Protein backbone atom coordinates (compact mmCIF):
# COMPACT_ATOMS: atom_id res chain seq x y z
CA UNK A 1 0.00 0.00 0.00
CA UNK A 2 1.34 3.42 -0.94
CA UNK A 3 1.07 6.15 1.64
CA UNK A 4 2.56 9.54 2.33
CA UNK A 5 3.62 10.59 5.81
CA UNK A 6 3.36 14.06 7.29
CA UNK A 7 4.04 15.35 10.77
CA UNK A 8 1.95 17.53 13.06
CA UNK A 9 4.13 19.73 15.26
CA UNK A 10 3.04 21.50 18.42
CA UNK A 11 4.44 24.73 19.77
CA UNK A 12 6.41 25.24 22.96
CA UNK A 13 8.94 27.54 24.49
CA UNK A 14 10.21 28.12 27.96
CA UNK A 15 10.64 31.81 28.56
CA UNK A 16 10.94 34.42 31.26
CA UNK A 17 10.16 38.09 30.74
CA UNK A 18 11.51 40.91 32.84
CA UNK A 19 8.88 42.79 34.85
CA UNK A 20 8.13 46.27 33.57
CA UNK A 21 6.28 49.11 35.23
CA UNK A 22 2.84 50.24 34.13
CA UNK A 23 3.28 53.38 31.98
CA UNK A 24 2.02 56.64 33.50
CA UNK A 25 0.16 54.98 36.33
CA UNK A 26 0.40 52.55 39.21
CA UNK A 27 -2.29 50.36 40.72
CA UNK A 28 -3.16 50.04 44.36
CA UNK A 29 -6.11 49.07 46.49
CA UNK A 30 -7.53 46.47 44.10
CA UNK A 31 -9.94 44.11 45.79
CA UNK A 32 -13.30 42.41 45.55
CA UNK A 33 -13.72 42.77 41.80
CA UNK A 34 -16.50 40.56 40.49
CA UNK A 35 -16.39 39.26 36.94
CA UNK A 36 -20.01 40.24 36.27
CA UNK A 37 -20.22 43.51 38.18
CA UNK A 38 -18.68 46.87 38.88
CA UNK A 39 -15.91 47.92 41.19
CA UNK A 40 -13.21 50.53 41.42
CA UNK A 41 -9.46 50.67 41.13
CA UNK A 42 -7.56 53.55 42.64
CA UNK A 43 -4.99 54.74 40.14
CA UNK A 44 -2.20 57.26 40.54
CA UNK A 45 -1.52 59.52 37.56
CA UNK A 46 1.36 61.73 38.53
CA UNK A 47 0.49 63.09 41.98
CA UNK A 48 -3.27 62.95 41.48
CA UNK A 49 -5.33 60.06 42.85
CA UNK A 50 -8.17 58.97 40.57
CA UNK A 51 -10.86 56.37 41.18
CA UNK A 52 -11.54 54.51 37.93
CA UNK A 53 -14.59 52.38 37.28
CA UNK A 54 -13.93 48.79 36.15
CA UNK A 55 -16.57 47.03 34.10
CA UNK A 56 -16.57 44.36 31.44
CA UNK A 57 -18.60 46.80 29.34
CA UNK A 58 -16.60 49.91 30.09
CA UNK A 59 -14.01 51.32 27.70
CA UNK A 60 -12.69 53.78 30.29
CA UNK A 61 -9.85 53.03 32.64
CA UNK A 62 -8.66 49.54 33.44
CA UNK A 63 -10.81 46.70 32.17
CA UNK A 64 -11.10 43.40 34.00
CA UNK A 65 -10.42 40.36 31.82
CA UNK A 66 -10.06 37.73 34.51
CA UNK A 67 -10.35 37.14 38.23
CA UNK A 68 -9.43 34.04 40.23
CA UNK A 69 -8.47 33.21 43.79
CA UNK A 70 -5.91 30.58 44.71
CA UNK A 71 -2.90 29.52 46.78
CA UNK A 72 -0.49 31.47 44.62
CA UNK A 73 1.75 33.12 47.24
CA UNK A 74 4.68 31.12 48.65
CA UNK A 75 4.89 30.67 52.41
CA UNK A 76 8.13 29.19 53.65
CA UNK A 77 6.64 28.43 57.09
CA UNK A 78 3.71 26.34 55.92
CA UNK A 79 0.97 26.16 53.31
CA UNK A 80 0.93 28.62 50.39
CA UNK A 81 -1.15 31.74 50.99
CA UNK A 82 -4.47 32.38 49.26
CA UNK A 83 -4.52 35.58 47.18
CA UNK A 84 -6.60 37.32 44.51
CA UNK A 85 -5.33 37.19 40.92
CA UNK A 86 -6.44 39.59 38.18
CA UNK A 87 -5.81 40.19 34.49
CA UNK A 88 -6.36 43.87 33.67
CA UNK A 89 -6.05 45.84 30.42
CA UNK A 90 -5.57 49.58 30.20
CA UNK A 91 -7.56 49.92 26.99
CA UNK A 92 -8.71 47.95 23.97
CA UNK A 93 -7.27 47.83 20.48
CA UNK A 94 -3.85 47.53 18.91
CA UNK A 95 -2.04 49.50 21.62
CA UNK A 96 -3.62 47.89 24.68
CA UNK A 97 -1.45 46.50 27.46
CA UNK A 98 -2.23 43.50 29.66
CA UNK A 99 -1.20 43.19 33.31
CA UNK A 100 -1.18 40.22 35.65
CA UNK A 101 -1.83 41.36 39.21
CA UNK A 102 -1.57 39.32 42.41
CA UNK A 103 -2.97 40.95 45.55
CA UNK A 104 -1.91 39.59 48.91
CA UNK A 105 -1.66 40.84 52.47
CA UNK A 106 1.58 42.65 51.69
CA UNK A 107 0.40 44.61 48.64
CA UNK A 108 0.42 44.03 44.90
CA UNK A 109 2.71 42.13 42.59
CA UNK A 110 2.32 43.37 39.01
CA UNK A 111 3.70 41.94 35.78
CA UNK A 112 3.29 43.36 32.29
CA UNK A 113 2.16 40.37 30.18
CA UNK A 114 1.59 42.28 26.94
CA UNK A 115 2.84 40.04 24.10
CA UNK A 116 6.02 41.44 22.58
CA UNK A 117 5.32 43.67 19.60
CA UNK A 118 1.55 43.09 19.64
CA UNK A 119 -1.49 43.31 21.87
CA UNK A 120 -3.72 40.48 22.99
CA UNK A 121 -7.36 40.58 21.89
CA UNK A 122 -8.46 38.82 25.04
CA UNK A 123 -6.84 37.15 28.03
CA UNK A 124 -8.28 34.11 29.82
CA UNK A 125 -7.12 33.37 33.36
CA UNK A 126 -6.82 30.11 35.34
CA UNK A 127 -5.30 29.34 38.75
CA UNK A 128 -4.42 25.73 39.58
CA UNK A 129 -1.65 23.47 40.88
CA UNK A 130 0.18 21.49 38.18
CA UNK A 131 2.94 20.00 40.37
CA UNK A 132 3.26 18.58 43.89
CA UNK A 133 4.39 21.65 45.84
CA UNK A 134 0.82 22.77 46.79
CA UNK A 135 1.42 26.28 45.42
CA UNK A 136 -0.85 27.17 42.52
CA UNK A 137 0.47 28.21 39.14
CA UNK A 138 -1.19 30.97 37.10
CA UNK A 139 -2.21 30.23 33.50
CA UNK A 140 -3.03 33.00 31.02
CA UNK A 141 -4.34 32.14 27.55
CA UNK A 142 -4.07 35.04 25.09
CA UNK A 143 -5.52 35.53 21.62
CA UNK A 144 -2.90 37.47 19.67
CA UNK A 145 -4.17 37.14 16.08
CA UNK A 146 -7.47 36.34 14.40
CA UNK A 147 -6.39 35.62 10.83
CA UNK A 148 -6.66 32.07 9.52
CA UNK A 149 -7.97 28.94 11.16
CA UNK A 150 -8.77 29.33 14.82
CA UNK A 151 -6.44 32.30 15.24
CA UNK A 152 -3.05 32.69 16.88
CA UNK A 153 -2.58 32.22 20.62
CA UNK A 154 -0.10 32.35 23.47
CA UNK A 155 -0.60 29.98 26.40
CA UNK A 156 1.56 31.05 29.33
CA UNK A 157 2.26 29.60 32.79
CA UNK A 158 3.41 31.85 35.64
CA UNK A 159 4.36 31.35 39.27
CA UNK A 160 4.98 33.73 42.16
CA UNK A 161 8.58 33.22 43.28
CA UNK A 162 9.69 35.44 46.13
CA UNK A 163 8.16 38.85 45.43
CA UNK A 164 7.98 38.48 41.66
CA UNK A 165 5.77 36.81 39.08
CA UNK A 166 8.01 34.58 36.94
CA UNK A 167 7.03 33.15 33.57
CA UNK A 168 7.82 29.43 33.48
CA UNK A 169 6.50 28.33 30.08
CA UNK A 170 5.07 29.88 26.95
CA UNK A 171 3.34 27.99 24.13
CA UNK A 172 2.98 29.77 20.78
CA UNK A 173 3.70 29.44 17.05
CA UNK A 174 7.38 30.30 17.27
CA UNK A 175 8.87 27.26 19.04
CA UNK A 176 7.91 23.65 18.67
CA UNK A 177 7.04 20.75 20.95
CA UNK A 178 6.38 17.34 19.39
CA UNK A 179 3.32 15.78 21.01
CA UNK A 180 3.18 12.54 19.05
CA UNK A 181 0.68 13.48 16.35
CA UNK A 182 1.38 12.53 12.75
CA UNK A 183 -0.68 11.82 9.66
CA UNK A 184 -0.84 9.47 6.70
CA UNK A 185 -2.51 9.66 3.33
CA UNK A 186 -3.87 6.19 2.54
CA UNK A 187 -5.49 4.65 -0.51
CA UNK A 188 -9.24 5.11 -0.65
CA UNK A 189 -9.23 8.88 -0.12
CA UNK A 190 -8.27 8.44 3.54
CA UNK A 191 -6.37 10.82 5.80
CA UNK A 192 -5.35 9.08 9.02
CA UNK A 193 -4.38 11.10 12.11
CA UNK A 194 -2.43 9.12 14.71
CA UNK A 195 -0.62 9.74 17.97
CA UNK A 196 2.58 7.83 18.66
CA UNK A 197 2.39 8.35 22.43
CA UNK A 198 -1.15 7.06 22.95
CA UNK A 199 -1.59 4.82 19.89
CA UNK A 200 -4.94 6.43 19.08
CA UNK A 201 -5.92 7.07 15.46
CA UNK A 202 -8.73 8.77 13.57
CA UNK A 203 -9.58 8.23 9.89
CA UNK A 204 -11.03 10.97 7.68
CA UNK A 205 -12.87 10.19 4.44
CA UNK A 206 -11.78 12.69 1.78
CA UNK A 207 -13.80 11.17 -1.09
CA UNK A 208 -15.82 13.72 -2.99
CA UNK A 209 -13.23 16.42 -2.42
CA UNK A 210 -12.43 17.16 -6.06
CA UNK A 211 -9.72 19.68 -5.19
CA UNK A 212 -7.53 16.83 -3.88
CA UNK A 213 -7.81 14.65 -7.00
CA UNK A 214 -4.65 14.79 -9.06
CA UNK A 215 -2.80 16.34 -6.13
CA UNK A 216 -3.19 14.03 -3.12
CA UNK A 217 -5.13 11.18 -4.73
CA UNK A 218 -5.64 9.96 -8.28
CA UNK A 219 -9.09 9.40 -9.80
CA UNK A 220 -9.29 5.96 -8.17
CA UNK A 221 -8.45 7.27 -4.71
CA UNK A 222 -4.87 6.01 -4.67
CA UNK A 223 -2.23 8.13 -2.97
CA UNK A 224 0.03 10.06 -5.34
CA UNK A 225 3.70 9.74 -4.46
CA UNK A 226 5.77 12.77 -3.53
CA UNK A 227 2.77 15.07 -3.34
CA UNK A 228 4.71 17.45 -1.10
CA UNK A 229 1.63 18.17 0.97
CA UNK A 230 1.42 18.03 4.73
CA UNK A 231 -0.49 19.21 7.75
CA UNK A 232 -0.44 22.62 9.40
CA UNK A 233 -1.11 22.74 13.13
CA UNK A 234 -1.70 26.07 14.85
CA UNK A 235 -1.03 27.29 18.37
CA UNK A 236 -3.33 26.19 21.17
CA UNK A 237 -6.83 27.56 20.61
CA UNK A 238 -7.79 25.93 23.90
CA UNK A 239 -5.53 25.63 26.91
CA UNK A 240 -7.50 24.81 30.04
CA UNK A 241 -6.58 22.96 33.25
CA UNK A 242 -8.59 19.93 34.31
CA UNK A 243 -7.94 17.51 37.17
CA UNK A 244 -8.45 14.42 35.02
CA UNK A 245 -7.65 11.79 37.66
CA UNK A 246 -8.95 13.69 40.70
CA UNK A 247 -5.64 13.72 42.59
CA UNK A 248 -5.64 17.48 43.13
CA UNK A 249 -2.84 18.06 40.61
CA UNK A 250 -4.15 19.48 37.36
CA UNK A 251 -3.50 18.28 33.84
CA UNK A 252 -3.86 20.69 30.90
CA UNK A 253 -6.24 19.99 28.01
CA UNK A 254 -4.98 21.55 24.77
CA UNK A 255 -6.64 21.83 21.36
CA UNK A 256 -5.15 23.02 18.09
CA UNK A 257 -6.63 23.80 14.68
CA UNK A 258 -5.40 21.30 12.08
CA UNK A 259 -5.47 21.78 8.30
CA UNK A 260 -4.06 19.84 5.35
CA UNK A 261 -1.99 22.51 3.67
CA UNK A 262 -3.64 25.88 4.30
CA UNK A 263 -6.10 27.35 6.77
CA UNK A 264 -8.90 26.96 4.23
CA UNK A 265 -8.54 23.16 4.41
CA UNK A 266 -9.41 22.68 8.05
CA UNK A 267 -9.69 19.06 9.20
CA UNK A 268 -10.59 19.57 12.85
CA UNK A 269 -9.00 19.96 16.27
CA UNK A 270 -6.15 17.86 17.66
CA UNK A 271 -6.43 17.41 21.41
CA UNK A 272 -3.61 16.63 23.83
CA UNK A 273 -3.77 16.12 27.57
CA UNK A 274 -0.51 17.29 29.14
CA UNK A 275 0.86 16.36 32.56
CA UNK A 276 3.80 18.15 34.12
CA UNK A 277 6.74 15.83 34.80
CA UNK A 278 8.76 17.15 37.72
CA UNK A 279 11.78 14.99 36.93
CA UNK A 280 12.32 16.45 33.47
CA UNK A 281 10.61 19.77 34.27
CA UNK A 282 8.59 19.43 31.08
CA UNK A 283 5.21 18.19 29.91
CA UNK A 284 4.28 14.69 28.77
CA UNK A 285 1.30 13.61 26.67
CA UNK A 286 -0.92 11.20 28.63
CA UNK A 287 -3.96 11.20 26.34
CA UNK A 288 -4.99 12.41 22.91
CA UNK A 289 -7.98 12.71 20.62
CA UNK A 290 -8.96 14.22 17.29
CA UNK A 291 -12.22 16.07 16.70
CA UNK A 292 -13.06 16.20 12.99
CA UNK A 293 -15.34 18.96 11.77
CA UNK A 294 -17.85 16.44 10.40
CA UNK A 295 -18.05 14.27 13.56
pLDDT tens for 226-281 read 566 667 777 888 999 999 999 999 999 999 888 887 777 888 999 999 999 998 99
**CA atoms 225, 149, 193, 206: torsion sign:** negative
Mean pLDDT lowest among 36-50, 206-220, 255-269 = 36-50
- Residue pair 172/13 in contact by the 8 Å Cβ criterion: yes
With a CB cutoff of 8 Å and minimum separation 6, the contacts of 289 are 200, 202, 270, 271
The pLDDT of residue 48 is above 70: no
Dihedrals phi, psi of 137, to nearest 5 degrees: -90, 165
Average pLDDT over residues 147-156: 78
Give the pLDDT score at 108: 78
The pLDDT of residue 34 is above 50: no
- Bridge partners of 38, per DSSP, are none
pTM of the model: 0.78
Separation of alpha carbons 137 and 29, rounded Å: 23
Average pLDDT over residues 67-92: 84
> Of residues 156 and 225, which shows the higher confidence score?
156
The pLDDT of residue 204 is above 80: yes
> Of residues 259 and 56, which shows the higher confidence score?
259
- Residue pair 234/149 in contact by the 8 Å Cβ criterion: yes
What's the Cα-to-Cα distance from 187 to each of 3, 63, 92, 137, 184, rounded to whole Å? Answer: 7, 54, 50, 47, 10
Separation of alpha carbons 193 and 200, rounded Å: 8
Residue 155 banded pLDDT, cuts 50, 70, 90: very high
Average pLDDT over residues 71-81: 85
Nearest-Å Rg of the Cα atoms of the chain is: 22
> Of residues 209 and 3, which shows the higher confidence score?
209
The pLDDT of residue 18 is above 60: no
- Residue pair 33/190 in contact by the 8 Å Cβ criterion: no
Separation of alpha carbons 153 and 234, rounded Å: 8
> Of residues 253 and 79, which shows the higher confidence score?
253
- Per residue in 98-113, pLDDT (tens digit) is 889 888 767 778 899 9
Give the pLDDT score at 177: 72
DSSP type of residue 212 = G
DSSP type of residue 221 = S
Separation of alpha carbons 53 and 34, rounded Å: 12
CA 123 and chain centroid, separation? 10
- Per residue in 114-128, pLDDT (tens digit) is 988 777 888 899 999
The pLDDT of residue 188 is above 90: yes
With a CB cutoff of 8 Å and minimum separation 6, the contacts of 210 are none
Which of 30-39, 148-157, 224-233, 271-280 has the highest mean predicted lDDT (pLDDT)?
271-280
Q: Which long-range contacts (CB under 8 A, 24 or more apart) does 148-151 make?
A: 148/234, 148/263, 149/232, 149/234, 149/237, 149/257, 149/259, 149/263, 149/266, 150/234, 150/237, 150/256, 150/257, 150/269, 151/234, 151/237
The mean pLDDT value of the chain amounts to 77
Amino acid sequence: MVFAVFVIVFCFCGCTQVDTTIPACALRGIGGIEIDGFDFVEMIRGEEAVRVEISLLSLNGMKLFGYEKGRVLPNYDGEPVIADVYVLKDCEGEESCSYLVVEGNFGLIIKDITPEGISSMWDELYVCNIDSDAQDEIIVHQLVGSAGGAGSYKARIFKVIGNEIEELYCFDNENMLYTGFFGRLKNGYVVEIRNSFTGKKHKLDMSGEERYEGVLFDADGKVIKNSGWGVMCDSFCEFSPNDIDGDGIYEIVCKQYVSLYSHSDGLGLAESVLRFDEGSQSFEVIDSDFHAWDD
